[in-house]
Structures are given as structure tokens and as C-alpha cells.
Structure 1
Amino acid sequence: MQPSFQEFSASLSYKDVPPDALRVLRRSFLDTMGVAAVGSTQDMSQIAKKGATALFGAGGAGSARILMDGTKVSPTGAAMAGAFTVDSIDAHDGTSPCKGHAGSAVFPALLAVADAEASCGRPLDGKQFATLLAVAYEVSYRAGLAQHATCADYHTSGAWTAVGVATATAKLLGCNTTEIAHAAGIGEYHGPRSQMMRCIDHPTMVRDGVGWGAPSGVTAAYLAQQGFTGAPALTCEGEDAAEFWSDLGSRWRLVEDTHYKPYPCCRWAHPAMDAAAELMTLHEIHHMQVESVEIRTFHNATRLAGQTPDTPDEFAYAIAFPVAALIVRRQVGVSELAPETLKDPDILRISKATQLIDDEHFTRISVGKRWAQVTLVLKDGTRLTSEPRTPRGDTDLPLSDQDILEKFHLFSDPVLGSARSKRIADMCSEFDTLSTDQFGALLDLVLTDPN
């Protein structure tokens, strides 16, 4: 008999999580911590930490340390500040079918609750934490699919990760199936139904909504534990959502759908970036040879534009400038996230000469995939056109474990130092095997000030 989402969540144990799912969770743990490290240096992260400290003092639920900072607040406050920290750098894991991201909410939220539990004398080991992650990812992905299928507007990831975070947190708190159902319902009802395209059109620090989705889910679970009601969560139990839950437990969406980003900007820009990089390398071109760039892509991607971004938020939701940065510098890493990069004359020259073309065919086929084609126009009149392509990091063009490790060190080493980064990387690669004391040591590494 097919289990309900609350039965699945309540009963899931570590032995039920397949090896492929555990591998994804290890990769995502490492990837997310690298993003969190560089994210902790951003203004958006600093503002969120100040807000959490001012508004969410620790109480009876225990104290939780803010990700990559160490300040003690409530688990809700730590979830909020941590999610904003990860979301401040658009380089975390994602799911193309949901057009969004789970790890940026799930990891900060569950790390916060795990730390609060430890402060109350109830520490977790790696197996317990892996099981909670599996629940949070699986429920989030399926709730996201259901929401996109049943709601007219395109909501941010915070809207559906609130459901997954609420469910996993309720499991951690020892809630029964009825209470888990109420937690999911509360998280869904009070979670941010924020419109993603608003931030695409007007980039600001609100980003992907996870900064409020993560604490909404945490708060929902604690409320449900105390008897607050809110079921049903329509993305989990509504009639229109049933098809997305029919294979729960036998099919793992987190294995099939999780992708990773090689670049710290919106996924919609990535196929064009990969295509441009390939042309530059294949034809051994120097950026001074490039006169202009033409990018054919799907409709929503053309709304990213971003020839002259003034802020990191505008950089994150752009195509023209990141493509130009890749053409000029052959990478988009930590140094390209620096404010002075936005004024680089060589990058601006190419970015301003980049045209985004709304392609009807690419719009039709960009369902669960993201398509683009790039033409480099050289100063001598030569036109070099790539094949149409989707981005690296999708499950059909996966990043290797080595790729993710190199990305982690690219982001983490300048902030945390190579020695601390290596310890985090080693422990993340086997976090689900760690004892209580060892997992506590991992928490200490990622929940304390980089300085």
C-alpha cells in the first residue's frame, strides 16, 4: 500500500535511504557549505544576521548558531540567517523540474534545529541527519512539482521548501503522523508565496524566498509539536497533487532531479555560459577579438538581461554580464563576485554588445531543461555559432565529484582557509557515518565564525 507523505516521513530510517540518495546528500552538503562560506562575506548575509540577532533570541527550544558565524539565536533565527547566507550566492544545488532549489533552505534549517537539539542535550549523529535531509529533499521536490502544476504563478523555492523543512523538522522533534501533517500544512499556509519573476525583473536581496521559507518550516514544526493545527497541505494531500506522490518511497526525486552549478549565477544563464566558453576554447579566441555576442534562449531567460549590473543581486539574475565575464576571464569564481568586477571595462564592453534573442523553439522545449545557443561575432566579421545546448551539472551532463570538490575549495579556501576547508570536505564526504561526537565536530566547523 502506498504510504502517505506523513507515514513515509515518520517511518523513514537510515537503512531505507538508497546509496544513490546518500551520495547526492553528501555532494549537496559539501556544495552548500562552500556556497555558505563565500556567502558569509556578502552584505545580504550580514544584514540577515543582524536581523536574526535583533528579532530571534534563543529560548526554550534551545540555542542555535548562525551558519558560518556562531552567533547564538533561536533555531528559527538561525534558519533565516543561514538561508539568506546561502542564497546570497546563486551557486547552490537545484532541481530543474521545480525551477528552484532545496538545499539553500534545507541545510540551514536542519543544521539550526540539530544545533538547538544538541544544546538541549539531544545531539544527532550522521545517520539521523542524513535521514532528515532525505525527508526534507524528497518532500520539498514533490511539493514543488505539485505547486507548479496547480498554481498559476511561478513561486520561489521558499514556498515549497517550507513544506519539506516543516516535515523533516517535525520528524526530528518526534512528532507523530498527525502532527507531521499539521506541520506541513502550517508551513505551506504560512510559507512565502513569493513571485520568482518579480525578482528576475527587479533583482534585490529577496532572491529565491528561502530566507523566509526555511524559518517558516522550522516554526511550523515547533507549532505543530505544541498542538497547533494546519492540515492539510494541499501540495501533499490535495487531489490535484496526488500524481506527484504516487511513487513516494519507490522513486527518489532527489536522485533523479538534483543538479549542481559550476557558476555562481542564475541557472538560466548557464547554457549560454557553457556555449561561450566552449567557443572561446575551441577556436582559441582572445576576448579582444570579440565584437559582439548573440544569445538565443527561452523567453524567461531573456528577462534576465543584465548588461550593466550595479549590485550582486543584479549580477546573480543576469545573462549578458556573466557571459561576458566568462569570455574575458575564462571563469566566474570568487574574484568575479567582487564589487569592482562590475566596473571592469573589458567585461562591460562585451556585455553591452550582447543581444538576447527570444527563441520560440527554445521556449517550447525548455520544460525541465534550459536551452541556449551562442554566436560570437568577431571584429573581422567571422561568426562562430555553438550547437544548441543545455547546462553542465544537469543529471545528463553531471559534474563529477572532483568538479564539486574543486568548486568547494574555490569558494571556501579564501574565506575559511585551506586547512579548515579540507576538514569540512573530508567530513562532508562521509557525514552520514559520523558518530554523535564527530557530527558535533562538523557542526562546530560550519557553525562558527570563519575568522
Structure 2
Amino acid sequence: MTSSDRLTWNIAEWIVDQQQRPLPERMDHHVRRLLLDHLAGVVASSPGAVSGAVGEHVHRMYPGTTATAIGHGRSSALGAALINGTNGHGIETDEGYTPGSMHPTSVIFPAVFAVAQEKGISGDRVLTAAAIGMELSCRIAAAGHPATRNRHFHNTAIAGVFGAAAAVAVLLELDVTGVANTLGIAGSHASGLFEFLGQSAEIKRFHPGKAARDGITSADLAQAGLTGPTTILEGKDGYFAAYAGVEGTDWDPGILLGGLGEEWVLLGTYVKPYPCCRHLHGAIDAALHLVNTHTIDPADIASVIVGTFAIATRHAGRQLDTILQAQLSLPFTVAVALLRGGVTLTDFSEDTRSNIAVQALMNKVQVVLDDAADAAYPKSGRPADVTVVMNDGTRYQHRVEQPYGEPSNPLSDSDLEGKARALVEPVIGADGTKNLIESSWNFDSLEFLDFLDSAVRNADPR
């Protein structure tokens, strides 16, 4: 088994070494895919109420002009990272990394973009910093998952702050000691609890923004001379001891270090086809398969049984007062899939949540633990099994091992562009969406962020 000795220092040395190397062609393309997916979510989220609340806070507490908060004008770097990170996670469209159950883009890109704008940095250096930060956050999350989630922490925030700090350290060109101190400081910022689940608590959306902001703060403080514990990851009172538990039982340094510098686990990130929690997607896929291959009259359904892994079974809420509650509900999303043959952003509206037919079918959906699925997650899949039982006793069943969008079942580039258009055109129109897509694929500077900001604030879709 890989030893955790010098774990934080080994990571710091990798960060400094990796930034000197160009991204492999496949990785470069993948980062641009993630950029497009991220920016589409940010733009689509920016007119929302949560974005408005955080924007009000930022304009009051983080005034400035050095960075762009899309939909909210110029702000300080900390303020822009806070808003853009919140919006990246604002409508549950952001990608993720299954082995770590976390969403790296909504933390890392906002931190990198804010500091890059402030420092006048552009081009490949920005993408390299983002790639390093996302890679690290995925590895840290995977090394402690599911123990961290079982201890009630939100991996996106607690692992993401290390990735954001590392990415900003790259932009600031800190040496190995500076990076190690940056990570040590970031550990004191790692936070985010799962108590939002099942409630109307929109703080979930804020977690990536907070982690992005705190990652910037960590690197900036290290550059200024503040020191942090350089055993923050492996120490007896460090991150993994506090958030996961016992080395070798609850967390594995081998997952964090294995292939580091040679293999990019970030290539294993998925892209979401549906705007809701990823734990729900396998069941949605299975339900859609059934309605597309059988003649099923929803009015004749007696019951629906969804078998899945333990963490997903926690998403069985039926209270639908808010969009967030619906986006975290297996019974609701499976009912929508069976009734409407798809799950889109508009399906989370108040009209749909209160629809009599949707609610009636939702109440027939039972979520149960599937032992085989639980054994598979998170190492080999996110399985879900859906059985639809009709009033006459007929049963239709389908099992999904990996939901659509995973690397083994990926969205094509064209499908990704289609997702972006569906999210963004209602906000900034077809021309603005075209600019976003082209700027993501051809990324070489951050000038287009001000265009997106202006387009959102002066939205008049054509």
C-alpha cells in the first residue's frame, strides 16, 4: 500500500513540476469541454434568485473592478470567484467525478479566471492551472470517498478548496514551499455540510463559490508569507484524519498519488445530460429506456421500484417546495421521465412540481437499496435498476450500470454544444450562445467574460 509519508510535500512538488509541461492534446480538449459546460451553467444560473442574493452580498462586501462576475458586472477577484462559483453549481448542470462524488469546475474555473484577470494572465497558462487544480481536487475527493460523505461533508467544497488553492498557486508561480503552505492554509478553509439535503437550503449552491474564494485567499496568504501546516493532508490532526478517518480503511493515499504526473484522472469526469443531482441519472436513464422501448401508459402504472446504491437512496424526498428539492429527488425525476419522456430544466418549474399527474406517479415510486449497486459504487459505476409494475401485473425492468455522460457512455462534442444551447439561448440568445461556444473551444484569453456579463445583464434573446 502507498505510504502517506510526505504526502503534502509530494503533491506540492507535483504541482510545481506539472505546470512546466504542456497539457497532452487529449487533456487540452477535455478541459475545453469542461469549460464550455461550466460557462453554460454559469450563464443559465446568473439571472436566478440565489445568484441575485450572492451578487448583492458581493457588491456590498467585495467591491472592485479587477474581475468579471458574469451577470453582475465587475468585482474584486474574491467577489467574482464567489459569484461565478455559486452560479456554476446553481442549477445542477455541472459535470462531476464519480469516484470522488464532486464537481471540480465550479470551484476551480472561477478561482483561476478571477486571479488571471487580476494579474493579466491568459492562454495556455490559465488552462494548465485549471487542469492541475481540477486534477488535485478529484484525487483528494476520491481518496476519501465515501467516508467523507458518510461523515456528512460535501466533497465539492472540502476537496475543491485544495484544488482552487493549487491552481492559484500555479498562477502566482509559488515554489514548492509556497505551494505546501498554500495547501496547509487551504485545509483550514475546507468546509461544507450536507444538511441542506431534503430542505429548502440553497446554501448548497454557495459551497463551490466559497471554496473558490477561499482557494484564492489561501494562495494569496502564502505568497504574503503566512505559513500553514505542511502535513495538512496526512497529519494526525489533518484533513483526512478529520474528514475521512483511518488511513487504509477510510482513505487511501494510493488513490491520491497513483499515476500522478503520468495519468490524468480528470479525463474520467462526466458531463450531465439532465439538470439534477448525478445520483439520480442512472434511474432516469433506466426509466427513459423503458418508456422508449415499451408501450407504457403512466395512468396504468401501479408502482415503480428504484433500486440503487446507499448514498443515492438518501435522495428519496417528496417535498417539492423548491427547485433544489426536486433536483435532489429520485421519486420526482423518475416520475417526470416516465410521464414526459425526458428531464429538462423546465421540468423543475413550480407548475411541474405541483402537477397532479406528476405528484400521483411520484408517490408510487419506491426507492430501495440494491446490494449489487452499493458494492459497485463508487469504484465501478453508479448503478440503478428500475422496475415498473402495471395494474395488470405486467413488469418492465431495466438496469443501468453507468449513466449517460460517463466516460464509458459519453456525451459527444455536438451533444455538449446542444446542451449549452438549451441552457444559454433563453438567456442571451443564439448569437451570444454562439460566441460562448466558440470562445470555449478556441480559448486563448478571458476577454469574452465581459461580453458574457454584458449579454446577461442586457438580455434580449433573439
Q: So what's the TM-score if we normalise by structure 2?
A: 0.87
Partner of 1:265: 276
Q: 1:447 to 1:32 in 2, by over 3 A?
A: same
Taking the TM superposition and a 5 Å limit, the aligned residue runs for 1:25-424 are 25-58=31-64, 63-66=66-69, 68-117=70-119, 123-148=120-145, 153-156=151-154, 157-192=156-191, 194-196=192-194, 198-202=195-199, 204-207=201-204, 209-232=207-230, 234-235=232-233, 240=247, 242-243=253-254, 244-255=256-267, 257-368=268-379, 369-424=381-436
Report if the CA contact (8 A) 2:43-2:71 is conserved: no
Give the CA deviation at 1:259: 0.9
Does structure 2 retain, via aligned residues, the 8 Å contact 1:80–1:212? yes
* 8 Å Cα contact 2:308/2:367 also seen in 1: yes
- In 2, distance between residues paired with 1:20 and 1:26? 10
Structure-2 change in CA distance of 1:449 and 1:218 (3 Å):
farther
Alpha-carbon separation, structure 2, partners of 1:448 and 1:218: 25
| C-alpha distance in structure 2 between counterparts of 1:260 and 1:292, whole Å | 30
Hey, what's the Cα distance between the residues in 1 that align with 2:115 and 2:146? 31
Q: What amino acid sits opposite 2:88 in the alignment? A: V
- CA deviation string 1:245-301 (max 9, x = no partner): 24211111111x211111111111111000000000001434334343211112221
* Deviation (angstroms), 1:91: 1.5
Q: Residue 76 of structure 1 aligns to which amino acid in structure 2?
A: L
Shift of 1:337: 3.1
For structure 1, which segment, 406-415 or 33-42, has the greater mean C-alpha deviation from structure 2 after superposition? 33-42
- Kept in 2: contact 1:191–1:212 (CA 8 A): no
Post-superposition CA distance 1:339-375 (Å, at most 9, x none): 3221122211211111111223322222232111111
User: How far is the alpha carbon of 1:150 from its aligned partner?
Assistant: 7.4
The aligned amino acid for 1:132 is A
Taking the aligned partners of 1:19 and 1:224, their CA distance within structure 2 comes to 32
Please state how far the C-alpha of 1:415 moved relative to its aligned partner: 0.8
CA distance 1:336–1:395, change in 2 (3 Å): same
Of 173-182 and 229-238, the range deviating more from structure 2: 229-238
2:430 corresponds to 1:427? no
Q: Quick one: distance in 1 between partners of 2:52 and 2:429?
A: 20
Q: Residues of 1 paired with 2:399 and 2:146: CA distance?
A: 31
Q: Which amino acid aligns with 2:393?
A: G
Structure 1 residue 154, shift from structure 2 partner: 4.6
- Secondary structure of the 1:207 match is helix
Matched-pair contact (CA < 8 Å) for 1:146–1:235: no
Amino acid corresponding to residue 98 of structure 1 in structure 2: G
- Letter of the 2:179 partner, please give it: I
Q: In 2, distance between residues paired with 1:48 and 1:395?
A: 33
Structure 1 residues 64-112: Cα deviation after superposition (integer angstroms, max 9, x where no partner): 221x214222211111111111212111010011011101111222122
Q: Write the deviation string for residues 175-224 of structure 1: whole angstroms up to 9, x where unpaired.
A: 222111111111122221x233x233445212163132111111111111
How far did residue 233 of structure 1 move?
5.3
Indicate if the aligned counterparts of 1:376 and 1:384 stay in contact, CA closer than 8 A.
yes
Q: Supply the distance in 2 between the matched residues of 1:304 and 1:114 (Cα, whole angstroms).
A: 38
SS of aligned partner of 1:4: helix
* In 2: Cα distance, 1:150 partner to 1:389 partner: 22
Separation of aligned partners in 2, 1:167 and 1:15: 16
> C-alpha displacement at 1:242, in angstroms?
4.0
Q: Please give the alpha-carbon distance, in whole angstroms, between the structure 2 residues aligned to 1:39 and 1:361.
A: 36
CA distance 1:359–1:331, change in 2 (3 Å): same
Superposed displacement of residue 408, structure 1: 0.8
Deviations 1:224-258 (A, max 9, x none): 11111113253378895642224211111111x21
Residues 307, 354 of structure 1: 8 Å contact kept: no
CA distance in 2, matches of 1:29, 1:82: 13
Give the Å deviation of 1:167.
1.0
Aligned residues: 432
Q: Which runs of 5+ in 2 are unaligned?
A: 1-6, 241-246
| Counterpart Cα distance in 1 of 2:34 and 2:430 | 20
Q: 1:311 to 1:440 in 2, by over 3 A?
A: same
Cα distance change of structure 1 residues 236 and 142 upon mapping to structure 2, 3 Å threshold: farther
Aligned-CA RMSD value: 2.3
Q: Partner of 1:296: helix, strand, or coil?
A: strand
Contact 1:93 1:261 in 2 (8 A): yes
Q: In 2, Cα distance between the equivalents of 1:205 and 1:233?
A: 33
CA contact (8 A) 2:165 2:216 kept: yes
Contact kept, 8 Å, 1:167 with 1:180, in 2: the verdict is yes
TM-score normalised to structure 1 length: 0.89
Structure 1 residues 447 and 183: CA distance shift in structure 2, 3 A: farther
Instruction: Identify if the C-alpha distance between structure 1 residues 233 and 330 changes in structure 2 by more than 3 Å, giving closer, same or farther.
Output: farther
